[in-house]
Amino acid sequence: MTATSPSFADALARAVSAKASAVLVGLDPHLALLPEEYAAAIASGERGRIAAAVADFCRRILDAVADLAPAVKPQVAFFEQLGPPGYEALEAVVADAKSKGLLVISDAKRGDIGSTAAAYADYHIGLGAKRPMPTLPNLGADAVTVNAYLGRDSLAPFLAYVPEGRGLFALVKTSNPGSADFQDVATVSSGGARNYEMVAATIDDIAAGYVGGCGYSSVGIVVGATHAAEARALRQRFRHLWFLVPGYGAQGATAGDVAGCFDAQGLGAIVNASRSIIFAHREAKYARFPRSAWAEAARQAALDMKAELAAALTR
Amino acid sequence: MTATSPSFADALARAVSAKASAVLVGLDPHLALLPEEYAAAIASGERGRIAAAVADFCRRILDAVADLAPAVKPQVAFFEQLGPPGYEALEAVVADAKSKGLLVISDAKRGDIGSTAAAYADYHIGLGAKRPMPTLPNLGADAVTVNAYLGRDSLAPFLAYVPEGRGLFALVKTSNPGSADFQDVATVSSGGARNYEMVAATIDDIAAGYVGGCGYSSVGIVVGATHAAEARALRQRFRHLWFLVPGYGAQGATAGDVAGCFDAQGLGAIVNASRSIIFAHREAKYARFPRSAWAEAARQAALDMKAELAAALTR
């Protein structure tokens, strides 16, 4: 990669440094948790109305946190569940976030083969002349999460956009308890490496071709904050991989748990919190905010998380 | 499961027997391969017009093959790439297929955790009172493909709909060359089993709770036809799992390759062909059909595949 090539990894490093924040705000508009002002829209059962409420909610969250986070991560499932209007909302939210200077990671966890994988890549992160139909509107996120179970060739269509400035994060060790079922199984052929270590090593090998000036690659991995020891070991071993770290907050991980995901300069990881930020108004900790001030509660939660991470990194 | 519970496995067995066909027609509307009558719509670059063309194409394919196939499998990526109008087309195609008596398997390969997995399950196969919002429109396919890398708990929201008559197929051994990268790696803890065998064993354990009167479970697996020996071994070992078998036709597998996926009664597998049926008009083998008769070419290709499978099973 030449110095003049756009690089998602470098853009992410610049944003983390400029905002002095590794907070990745997850946009998971779970309908049952939205503020009560949207209750009538949701109760209508009309997808268009519900999707408009979701888009409005996300817009106001973005207004509240845009200066506190380098990136946001819309969870595609919560938009897809609303069908066509849900995708309208998703596209509006991504465009809104980009207009506010935020990097956008589409949390789609897609994984398929051949021309199917290409269709997913084109939609989520496609841009420029490399697209089959460059003028066709698409989501155009800066990066996307992928599931690599189908193998290296399933990633190729996504990698085609990395030299254009896009990124991807492959699932390695997920934050849920069930991640142990397959990801933790030890393998024979990789010298006893567990499956998630084998996947990480493969992604690291791929990522080596896309390292930016910041020292990190535009191809990263997802490592759950709920597995602090494993994450720390991965950080020590794979020094060029950005970590997307879910599990903070609602899933129970703390700033201390994620500290091992960062390098000595405080780079190398972005820590996702979704519910604990966007639905902070439901937490006892933020009960001092009036019910209608849910966006302010979200801002405070993002501020608090930013401070917690900073404190953990300077210890 | 009581004898009166609806069962996707039983519905599939009935459909395969009634139509004497194990042909699973894949609806993969790759824009570059659509018949030339849709060229103007595609060239317009307007997603609404393109999606309408895709829906029209799929409707005519369904008309042509409905009596020859027990089920169809829309590939969600080719609809998602068109954004909101693409999901409109997807929903229209699923409704159309169901109205024609076809079972529908949404090829989404989704995989996520907690409430996110629930949102995917609700949209793709959700039905009835178990849905958080039973009146919200959704895709409502009969079954969905899933990626189980995230573990058993990631499947739970999908399994919740199985007693209602829905099904799922977990990726085990995919048809692409890169499937070897992770799926074929031998593990330590499962007595040397390869990863795909370990995943299959786990799915088989789950599937045991959902066996229908036909002897097969509504929880099945995806096994590529391009791996004939592995598929045969899986069939011998896991006698209650429906196999969804991709890779036939365009990917090179033959009827002989897939014969080992069936039981002695000719049940237990549905064999997917996408491009070799829906784009048969592009094949030299069907050059006798006028260009405008692409639906007739697709019908002939489905007839030929049905006959090829039947011949291979009676050998």
* Confidence tier at B191 by pLDDT (50, 70, 90): confident
Percentage of chain B exceeding pLDDT 90: 93
Average pLDDT of the residues in B255-277:
95
Q: Among this protein's residues, is A109 annotated catalytic?
A: yes
Average pLDDT of the residues in A58-70:
98
Average pLDDT of the residues in A208-227:
97
The answer on pLDDT for B231 being more than 90 is yes
Cite the beta strand spans of chain A per DSSP E. 23-27, 71-74, 103-110, 143-146, 167-173, 219-223, 243-245, 269-273
Annotated catalytic residues of B are: 109
On whether any CB of chain B is under 8 Å from the CB of A40, the answer is no
- Reported as half-sphere exposure (CB side, CA atoms, 13 A), residue A172 has a value of 33
On whether any CB of chain B is under 8 Å from the CB of A142, the answer is no
**B98: DSSP letter:** H
Q: Which residue is closest to A224 within chain B, CA to CA? A: B150
The answer on pLDDT for A69 being more than 80 is yes
Can you state the angle between helices A47-65 and A83-99, rounded to 10 degrees? 20
Average pLDDT of the residues in A202-217:
98
Query: With contact defined as beta carbons under 8 Å apart, do B168 and B143 qualify?
Result: yes
Set of chain A residues whose Cβ sits within 8 Å of the Cβ of B119: 30, 77-78, 80-81
Q: Which residue is closest to B87 within chain A, CA to CA? A: A84
Whole-angstrom distance, CA of residue B242 vs CA of residue B212: 11
Alpha carbon separation from A41 to A44, A46, A47, A292 (Å, rounded): 5, 8, 9, 16
The answer on pLDDT for A86 being more than 50 is yes
Q: Are B113 and A149 in contact (CB < 8 Å)?
A: no
Q: To the nearest whole number, what is the mean pLDDT of chain B?
A: 95
Contact map slice: B 53-112 vs A, CB within 8 A:
75, 77-78, 80-88, 91, 109-112
Whole-angstrom distance, CA of residue B83 vs CA of residue A136: 10
Whole-angstrom distance, CA of residue A127 vs CA of residue A130: 7
Cite the beta strand spans of B208-250 per DSSP E. 219-223, 243-245
Question: What are the tens digits of pLDDT across the range A51-61?
Answer: 999 999 999 99
Q: To the nearest whole number, what is the mean pLDDT of chain A?
A: 95
- pLDDT at residue B66, rounded to an integer: 98
Question: What are the tens digits of pLDDT across the range A228-243?
Answer: 999 999 999 999 999 9
Length of chain A: 315
Reported as type and span, the H/E element at residue A198 is helix A195-207
The overall pTM is greater than 0.90: yes
Q: Which residue carries 């080719």 as its tokens? A: B78
Active-site residue (options: A109, A130, A173, A306): A109
Query: With contact defined as beta carbons under 8 Å apart, do B238 and B199 qualify?
Result: no
Q: Are A147 and B152 in contact (CB < 8 Å)?
A: no
Contact map slice: A 199-258 vs B, CB within 8 A:
199, 202
- pLDDT at residue B1, rounded to an integer: 44
Whole-angstrom distance, CA of residue B235 vs CA of residue B254: 17
User: Which of B117, B119, B104, B107 shows the shortest CA–CA distance to B166?
Assistant: B104
Average pLDDT of the residues in B239-259:
92
- pLDDT at residue A4, rounded to an integer: 62
Q: Are A47 and B183 in contact (CB < 8 Å)?
A: no
Average pLDDT of the residues in A59-72:
98
Set of chain A residues whose Cβ sits within 8 Å of the Cβ of B123: 77, 80-81, 83
Question: What are the tens digits of pLDDT across the range B2-35?
Answer: 456 799 999 999 999 999 999 999 999 999 999 9
Average pLDDT of the residues in A144-157:
98
- pLDDT at residue A287, rounded to an integer: 96
Whole-angstrom distance, CA of residue A313 vs CA of residue A270: 13
Set of chain A residues whose Cβ sits within 8 Å of the Cβ of B180: 151
Set of chain B residues whose Cβ sits within 8 Å of the Cβ of A120: 77, 80-81
- Residue of A46, A94, A107, A113 to mutate, testing the B interface (most B Cβ within 10 Å of its Cβ): A113
Note the ipTM here: 0.97
Q: Which residues contact B17 (CB under 8 A, 6 or more apart)?
A: B267
* Confidence tier at A1 by pLDDT (50, 70, 90): very low
Whole-angstrom distance, CA of residue A72 vs CA of residue A93: 10
- pLDDT at residue B5, rounded to an integer: 79
The answer on pLDDT for A128 being more than 90 is no
Question: What are the tens digits of pLDDT across the range B55-104?
Answer: 999 999 999 999 999 999 999 999 999 999 999 999 999 999 999 999 99
Set of chain A residues whose Cβ sits within 8 Å of the Cβ of B179: 150-151
Average pLDDT of the residues in B237-242:
98
Question: What are the tens digits of pLDDT across the range A9-30?
Answer: 999 999 999 999 999 999 999 9
The answer on pLDDT for A194 being more than 90 is yes
User: Which of B117, B75, B110, B111 shows the shortest CA–CA distance to B93?
Assistant: B75
Question: What are the tens digits of pLDDT across the range A281-291?
Answer: 999 999 999 99
For B77, the closest of A75, A120, A152 (CB atoms) is A120
Q: Which residue carries 């004497």 as its tokens? A: B20
Question: What are the tens digits of pLDDT across the range B275-311?
Answer: 999 999 999 999 999 999 999 999 999 999 999 999 9
Set of chain A residues whose Cβ sits within 8 Å of the Cβ of B150: 171, 174, 176, 178-179, 183
